[in-house]
Each structure stands twice: as C-alpha cells, then as structure tokens.
C-alpha cells in the first residue's frame, strides 16, 4: 500500500511543511523544506506508531525499498501494532520560531520535531510518545513526560501563543505597541511618524520615526513578538537572551536626504521579517547588503548599543529581553 497523506500544513511563512503520512504498516510525521530550501535542509522524519506487529530488529528491508521503517519491538510501546490515525483528530502546533512542530492527536502529544534539529549536520532527531527507548543509531527518541522532557512545556507554550494571536478579541498588540513606543519616546521624544510594515500579515509590525534638528531615528516594533529561528542551536539554554530583536538606525540629516532615508526605511522594513522568511537570525556583528546606501557604503552592520547610541530600555516580551540592534553603514 502506498502512503496516504493525512494532513499537510505550512508554517507561518511557508518555509516548512508539516506532513502526516501512513501506509498499512506505519504512521509518520515529517517536516519538509519548501522548494526554496530543498538544497539547504533535509526532510525531518518522526515515527509515530506501528500499525502492524513490530519487527524484532531494525527495519532495514523497508529502508532499502524506499519505505518508512517500522520501529523495532524493543523500543515500541505497542509491539502488536495500533489502529491507523484519523486525519480529523490531528492537530499541528508549530514552534513560535516556525522551524519545528509538534503533532497532537485528540489533544494529546504524539510527536515532536524540534527546530534545532533542522540545522544539525548530524542525523535527524525526533521524539515520540510511543517510543520507549533508543540506541546510538536511533533517529526517534522517547518523548517522556513533562517532568523528564522540556519539549512538553515548549509545545504547551507554543499552543497558547498561537491561540492567543488567533483569537479575534486578542488585545496583545494593543498592549505591546504602547510599551515599545513608550520606551522609545522616553529617550527620543514624541513619535513624528509611524509606518505599518507588516504588509497586512501577522504579526503586526511598525516602524517609528523620531527626529531632532540633526538626526532622524527609525526603530522597528513588533519584530520581537516572534523568537528568531536557529538561536537554540547556537546558544542552547541561553537562547532566551538572544532570540528577540528590534532594529534601529540613526540618519544624520547632513548625510542622508529624505528620499534616501525612505529608501533605507523600506530596507529596514524588509529586514524585520527576514529571519522567518529565510530561516535565519540576526545578532551583533552580522552584516546585510543594502543597495540604498550612499557611496561607498553597501552594507549595514548590526551592533549592540554603543555608548554613543540612545540608551533605550527595551520592554520585556513574553518573558524575554529584547535586543535592540543598531544599523551602521559599512563598506563590505
């Protein structure tokens, strides 16, 4: 029997697709990269359940024949097999970063493909409720309990996050937006202009403008609603300190005519969504190419606030600090 697709769902920016398939032997959960990323990332599989009696040894024959392997009996909670999955009982919960996902069945967690495994050069790793053990060559591991595996809490948190933002009565932006603006205005004075930069896509994002006689400042807000991808694999337990960011740039009026400020503003607007559109991240020391800069500059350098930058006390978002990265023109 050829595999039957039970569900296919893209993440928020269409960079990854969650797919659940089963044949008459086994059910699997997969994350597939979109066409744009097929040369960069590999599909990530997660065994969910055997539908027939489990083999006693690793299902090498199925892999040789290009089929999804069953999990061997030693690591399976149901060695005699379970009933097939039903599509209408499946729910996909994406991580807030959009690079990992979990599968719920009747509201109970069945499998998790964490975001960090997408970027690992080693073998793919996933976690399943019905997996009871693993060896050194396994690609699926026991999901365990909330007391033994923090993925349970991460999935619960992600589900609450998406539920909050899908609620039509959601007031989160109405509370967050003033916090950003208050922090900026406390240092830079009254907002002179405000531009919506989300393109009518979630999440809501804006670009606030401030100016005095010598300088125009542009600062994003709302970018930090989402934690950035990739961060976990670089910073591990310290990821909360680095995964949220906003961007700022100061334009000396003597160097930047208004038309050029607005051209660079359009670039900053695009950068505010780039981590999720490209499965990447921003941090201090990163550079991005920009064509709208005056010669000889061709790039923007991201830096943590220097002593000469306005000292803005950024709000805390979902319990995490927000990093404000200042953009400086450089020649690269």
Cα atoms in the 13 Å half-sphere on the side-chain side of 161? 20
- Residues with Cβ < 8 Å from 187, sequence gap 6 or more? 310, 311, 312
Q: What is the DSSP letter of 128?
A: E
18: how many CB neighbours lie within 10 A of its CB? 24
Q: Say if residue 113 is exposed, middle or buried (CB neighbours under 10 Å; 0-12, 13-18, 19+).
A: buried
The per-residue pLDDT string of the chain (332 residues; one tens digit each, 9 = 90 and over) reads 789 999 999 999 999 999 999 999 999 999 999 999 999 999 999 999 999 999 999 888 888 988 999 999 999 999 999 999 999 999 999 999 999 999 999 999 999 999 999 998 777 899 999 999 998 888 899 999 999 999 999 999 999 999 999 877 778 899 999 999 999 999 999 999 999 999 999 999 999 999 999 999 999 999 999 999 999 999 999 999 999 999 999 999 999 999 999 999 999 999 999 999 999 999 999 999 988 888 888 999 999 998 888 899 999 999 999 999 999 999 87
Do 179 and 318 touch, CB atoms closer than 8 A? no
The verdict on pTM exceeding 0.85 is yes
Look at residues 169, 198, 163 and name the one whose alpha carbon lies nearest to residue 273.
198
Residue 36 DSSP code: G
CA dist., res. 52 & res. 224, Å (int): 46
Is the preceding omega at residue 296 within 30 degrees of 0, hence cis?
Answer: yes
């Amino acid at each position: 029997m050829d595999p039957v697709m039970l569900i296919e769902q893209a993440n928020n920016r269409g960079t990854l697709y969650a797919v659940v398939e089963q044949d008459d032997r086994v059910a699997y959960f997969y994350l597939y990269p979109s066409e744009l990323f097929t040369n960069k990332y590999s599909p990530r599989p997660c065994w969910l359940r055997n539908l027939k009696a489990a083999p006693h040894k690793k299902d090498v024959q199925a892999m040789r024949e290009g089929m999804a392997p069953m999990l061997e009996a030693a690591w399976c909670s149901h060695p005699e097999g379970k009933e097939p999955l039903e599509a209408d009982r499946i729910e996909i919960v994406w991580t807030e970063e959009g690079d990992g996902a979990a599968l719920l069945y009747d509201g109970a967690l069945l499998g998790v493909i964490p975001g960090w495994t997408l970027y690992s050069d080693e073998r793919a790793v996933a976690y399943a409720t019905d997996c009871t053990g693993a060896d050194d060559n396994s690609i699926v591991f026991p999901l365990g309990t909330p007391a033994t595996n923090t993925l349970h809490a991460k999935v619960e948190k992600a589900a609450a996050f998406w539920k909050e933002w899908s609620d039509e009565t959601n007031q989160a932006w109405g509370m967050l937006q003033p916090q950003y603006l208050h922090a900026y205005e406390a240092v830079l004075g009254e907002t002179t202009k405000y531009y919506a930069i989300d393109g009518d896509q979630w999440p809501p994002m804006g670009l606030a403008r401030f100016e005095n006689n010598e300088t125009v400042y542009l600062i994003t807000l709302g970018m930090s609603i989402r934690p950035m991808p990739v961060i976990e694999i670089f910073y591990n337990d310290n990821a909360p300190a680095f995964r949220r960011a906003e961007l700022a740039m100061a334009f000396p009026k003597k160097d930047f005519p208004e038309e050029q400020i607005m051209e660079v503003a359009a670039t900053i607007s695009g950068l505010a969504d780039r981590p999720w559109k490209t499965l990447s991240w921003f941090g201090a020391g990163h550079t991005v190419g920009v064509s709208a800069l005056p010669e000889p500059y061709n790039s923007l350098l991201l830096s943590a606030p220097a002593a000469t930058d306005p000292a803005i006390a950024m709000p805390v978002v979902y319990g995490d600090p927000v990093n404000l990265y200042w953009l400086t023109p450089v020649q690269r």
